[in-house]
Amino acid sequence: MRRPFVAGNWKMNLDLATGRALVSELRTRLPASPPIDVAICPPHIYLFPMAKAVADTPIRLGAQNCFHESSGAFTGEVSAAMVKETGCTYVILGHSERRHTIGPKDASGRVQGETDAMIAAKCRAAMSAGLVPIVCVGETLEERDRDQTEAVLSRQIDGSLAGIALDGPEKLVIAYEPVWAIGTGRNATPEQAQAAHRHLRGRLAERFGRGMADGIRIQYGGSVKPDNAITLMKEADVDGALVGGASLKASDFAGIIEGCIRAKGL
């Protein structure tokens, strides 16, 4: 059985004092050894202090990005080894905001963010540094409306994992995050999430073999809240959640973790 995994993506939110307060409240709300994996992903600049804050808790640390080169003249970038050195276990890669929100706009106003090829290079760097990448994929509303969801997910999985050799299913996490559900309050229905996760697992099986694919955790992300966590997590191929907004409040994040534990009968 896959061990469920709930991660909180703080994005560019909170300050150091509030982050510390959030961790200390989480510590009181979470079981001492939860039957699922839990992580927080603060901004890079807070990774060292947050590593200290979570040191004697079951909470693991993740970063929100890393660069694909190992060192050199890349002003402002942070390598996978540097991220690892802060104490991170995970790194989120290819988040939809990095694909579609952050970056220069083309003539038609579309943001030219990270491509699958860039994400694959980062993924290879992260794995070589001993980090577990959380690779995000997900269709836009326009793509869903045009019935392109499965084609987009296949393309993103193939492209974002190009050149990746996997020697264990625990070395990779996928997050299905439909772009139209992120920060919008509009989550996918459990059926929509399950269908997408099932499709993704099938693609992972083609890529890495069925045994490996059956062990890879696939998180759902997009407006996960304590009150929708249980029904989403009850779906067979939904192995946890990547939580944005609701991870900034200890009671909500703990409620989602609790919901995941209950939904999986742990």
Contact set with ligand PGA (CB under 6 A): 9, 177, 182-183, 221-224, 242-246
Catalytic site includes residue 95: yes
CB of 62 to ligand PGA, least distance (A): 11
Question: Which residue number is nearest to ligand PGA in terms of Cβ?
Answer: 244
Strands (E), 146-261: 173-176, 217-221, 240-243
**What gap in Å lies between CA 136 and CA 98, rounded to an integer?**
10
Cα four-point dihedral sign 255, 56, 241, 218: negative
CB of 73 to ligand PGA, least distance (A): 31
Nearer to ligand PGA, 81 or 140 (CB): 140
Phi, psi of 239 (to 5 degrees): -105, 25
CB of 158 to ligand PGA, least distance (A): 22
Spatial neighbors of 98 by CB under 8 A, at least 6 apart, are 65, 113, 114
For residue 122, the surrounding DSSP H or E stretch is helix 116-128
Owner of token pair 């560019």: 12
Nearer to ligand PGA, 46 or 220 (CB): 220
Nearer to ligand PGA, 208 or 242 (CB): 242
Nearer to ligand PGA, 47 or 208 (CB): 47
- In eight-state DSSP terms, residue 189 is P
**What gap in Å lies between CA 18 and CA 37, rounded to an integer?**
23
- In eight-state DSSP terms, residue 87 is T
Catalytic residue among 143, 177, 235, 258: 177
Catalytic site includes residue 199: no
Return the SS3 of 81.
helix
Residue of 144, 139, 157, 151 whose CA lies nearest to 216: 157
Catalytic residue among 95, 97, 114, 139: 95
The greatest distance separating any two alpha carbons of the chain, rounded to the nearest whole angstrom, comes to 52
CB of 244 to ligand PGA, least distance (A): 2
Nearer to ligand PGA, 207 or 225 (CB): 225
CB of 123 to ligand PGA, least distance (A): 17
Q: How many residues does the chain have?
A: 266
Active site amino acids: 95, 177
